[in-house]
Amino acid sequence: MHPPLMETYKRYPIKIVKGKGSWVWDEKGKKYLDFTSGIAVLNLGHVPQEVKEMLQQQLDAVWHTSNLFHIPSQEELAKKLTEVSVADQVFFCNSGTEANEGAIKLARLYAHKILGKKGSEIITFTHSFHGRTLGSLSATAQEHLQKGFEPLLEGFRYLPYNDMEALNELVGENTIAVMLEFIQGEGGVIPAEEEWLKKLYTIVKENGLLLIADEVQTGMGRTGSLFAYEEYHIEPDIITLAKGLGSGFPIGAILAKKEVAAAFTPGTHGSTFGGNPLSTTAGLATLKVLTREGFLDEVKRKSQMLKEGLLQLEKKFSFLTVRGKGFLLGIQPKGDVGTFITMARERGVLLLTAGSGVIRILPPLTVTEEEIKEFLQVMEEIFAAYALTTQGV
């Protein structure tokens, strides 16, 4: 007999039935330190109190109306997002892949309708991940993810990430935009090199191209700043958000500068559920906490503590390489990554992979120093056990 769910996921052998803060419990009552955060979604941890309280109030009011009506929480969240970013206007959807799909449409429409360009080419980079809808998958420069879904959407060209020489090929006669992640998450936790990004940004500006910042995973405080582009001192024209924006409630957003956003007029784009009262209330509550005075300073301090601890392990165990920013960190070990993920889970710590050979570390931004120390202790035990069984690889 076939299982009722389509088998698109390789699931861990546990059922999570409860979560609070940095911790979850399975159906047998076993407790786990969750350093996955629902794949960078639960930036405030599981069931954050302020988000819960605002949602409870909204549940007693109205759940859904459609975008044919004004939605107060949607308008307020859009206003707050423009106040804390370089963008002027916002469109809400339901997920990161929808946000990226919409950004692709917006870039093309702006180039054609506002600038009068005929081209539609968008540059993306090897190992990128922009989503699984056909358009965002076409932008994702990972052949193994695209296989079987051909023909892909035309209008994308891929360049090597962090390759200075390749930037000489950035601009073609049909190029209208560049789309990138400042830290490639699914691609292996690979941060953009500052000099490479600086040169890319210069070329983009000199040639009148749009810069689309995919901040689906890096946004909402994950890197220590509210947005990762702040770490690099550049201004994107379009920003895509999702994951950490709603503390687990499905929400995505396209943020854009006003001259670009002007390409979207009534009827050009839409969403039935996007920006509904529940998701935007969750977004408002989440953003309220993230922008509270001192919150991101604490994120920077604690994430530095975590990275320093991992770098100590890198020194101790020669088979490890550590990289990343803020609370988006990766460990690339020599050996099967799945083995380390399993060993951690058996010791009560939940982790993810990134790419084919990287352990991805995504704690809630609210993680405590004690929880970081506990995590580091478990990882040291795991690596020590592995070193012993492999005779000190």
| Percent of the chain residues topping a pLDDT of 90 | 95
- Break the chain into its structural domains and give their ranges: 16-34+294-389, 49-290
Q: Quote the pLDDT of residue 393.
A: 44
Closest CA to 80 of 286, 355, 388: 286
Q: Quote the pLDDT of residue 392.
A: 46
Topology classification of domain 49-290? Aspartate Aminotransferase; domain 2 (3.40.640)
Residue with tokens 């989440």: 286
User: What is d(CA 354, CA 189) in angstroms, rounded to the nearest whole number?
Assistant: 7
Indicate the pLDDT class of residue 391, thresholds 50, 70 and 90.
Answer: low
What is the CATH class of 16-34+294-389? alpha beta
Contact by Cβ (8 Å): 359, 351: yes
234-284 per-position pLDDT tens digit = 999 999 999 999 999 999 999 999 999 999 999 999 999 999 999 999 999
323-356 per-position pLDDT tens digit = 999 999 999 999 899 999 999 999 999 999 998 8
Tell me whether domains 16-34+294-389 and 49-290 share a fold. no
